Amino acid sequence: MKKVIICGICTADLPRLSSKESEEMMKKIKEGDNAARKRFIQCNLRLVLSVLQRFDLRCESSDDLFQVGCIGMIKAIDNFDLKHNVKFSTYAVPMIIGEIRRYLRDNNSIRVSRSLKDIAYKALRAKEELSSTLNREPTILEIANHIEVLEEDVVIALEAIQMPVSFYEPVYQDSGDSIYLLEQIKDNKNDDKKWVEYIDLEEAMKKLTKKEKSIIDMRFYQGKTQSEVAEDIGISQAQVSRLEKNALSRIKSQI
């Protein structure tokens, strides 16, 4: 029931090691036994899979993240010191997580500053810690107090590391018909009435003279003052004011 096939590997076939076997094999690895190293890597692939469950895999290939996690696990093997007197898994998990996070940070389509990411990851760790001690979901304020940053910074940081979602991602599916995110987004600025008004404005603008169109464009689309417009087209400000007033009156009458 718990079998997973990932990167062509069936987890049901992966060997397991006891704590004693793991320690003995690690000693052989440190002595340069490549066969022991290869077997030790195979025996710890389940550890990488357990770490992957902490990440949102919707926007990333699980195979890619699994391979990145394996790199982190191999780095942990190479750097593990038996004198630490800790389990290999205890030492390896943070390294696997760090490798996956670096990959996600470097391959994210939206660039987020390192400081924001640091706050976000601290907040996520604090959330786990507080959830276990409080036996409930902690509030943003509790998380902010725990990591000693402003509440607003926590909100911004957590939003910054969210993966982008496609407008065409299904949010509901029934009888084969999908409703996509795009269909659930409302745009108050561009309703049918405003589109009609925009078309009317375009039609009214077509009936202006070339000079009137130029003045309206510079005044209301480029944001220039009447003095700047007068200097650009070589007439007085009074003439610009008169032409602008006449053009606006004609546009209003057309609309």
Q: What is the pTM of this model?
A: 0.44
Contacts of 192 (CB under 8 A, 6+ apart): none
Domains of the chain plus CATH, in order, are: 1-107 (1.20.120.1810), 109-184 (1.10.10.10), 192-254 (1.10.10.10)
The residue type found at 87 is K
- Name the residue among 85, 15, 76 with its Cα closest to residue 45: 15
Q: What is the mean pLDDT of the chain?
A: 81
Query: What are the contacts of 148-154 at 24+ separation with CB within 8 A?
Result: 149/119, 149/122, 153/119, 154/119, 154/123
Q: pLDDT tens across 27-64, in order?
A: 898 888 899 899 898 888 888 888 887 776 655 677 78
pLDDT in tens, the chain (255 residues): 355 566 666 666 777 788 888 888 888 988 888 998 998 988 888 888 888 877 766 556 777 888 888 999 999 998 888 887 788 888 888 889 888 888 877 766 666 677 887 888 889 889 888 988 888 889 999 999 999 999 888 988 888 777 666 666 676 666 666 676 666 666 666 555 666 677 778 888 888 888 998 998 898 888 888 888 999 989 998 899 899 999 888 888 887
CA-to-CA separations, 14 to 5, 49, 233, in angstroms, rounded: 11, 12, 79
